[in-house]
Amino acid sequence: MSVPSRILVYGVYGAGKSTLAAVLADRLRLPWHPVDDLLWLPGWVEVPVAQQRSRIEQICRGDRWILDGAYHGWRDVPLARADLVVGLDYPRWCSFGRLLRRTVGRLATGEQICNGNRESLGSVLSRDSILLWHVGAFGRARRRMRAWQADPSGPPVLLFRSPAELERWVAALPRR
């Protein structure tokens, strides 16, 4: 098996992109660039899209990287350079359940995420709630991953339909 050096991990909110990226980074000895750290400033201030794109372009010029997401203003950048896209195409109940558990856990512990930000009850109950974003984004993310997989001009796309299927694939990867 050829070991990829530039990997885009993709899926809907809560599917486990960051968790998988961390595992792949450790196993394959690749630098992982958590996308949320590149997109959010303290106080949940969004980095302007042009600056996001510039940051992603700089990372993707490298020969070795893992990104745990790709968003509208710059999705084309990692797709043009990736050796592999790993898509977490889990059923809605699975990814939403993971997201709900993670969100409740973060609310309970006050865990800091991306540049010192924290989830709050107010943010979870707002119109911008990550839980609502999941509901709206699920179908789009799924269609996008499947279209990428069907496109012979793009990078190879592995779609995993269950965590168990993904675990078997990861276990078979060689260690670097």
For 95-121, what is the mean pLDDT? 94
Handedness of CA 143, 147, 82, 47 (dihedral sign): negative
pLDDT tens-place string over residues 135-165: 999 999 999 999 999 999 999 999 999 999 9
Residue 84: band (very low, low, confident or very high) from pLDDT cuts 50, 70, 90 = very high
- All domains in the chain, ordered by first residue: 6-168 (3.40.50.300)
- Give CA angle at 99 (118, 125), nearest 5°: 60
pLDDT tens-place string over residues 37-71: 999 999 999 999 999 999 999 999 999 999 999 99
What local confidence, expressed as pLDDT, does residue 169 receive?
Answer: 96
What local confidence, expressed as pLDDT, does residue 1 receive?
Answer: 53
The closest alpha carbon to 67, from 34, 23, 24, belongs to: 34
What local confidence, expressed as pLDDT, does residue 176 receive?
Answer: 82
Enter the pTM of the model.
0.94
Pairing of strands 6-11, 32-33: unpaired
For 66-86, what is the mean pLDDT? 96
What separation in angstroms does the CA of 142 have from each of 11, 21, 31, 38, 173?
A: 7, 19, 26, 24, 25
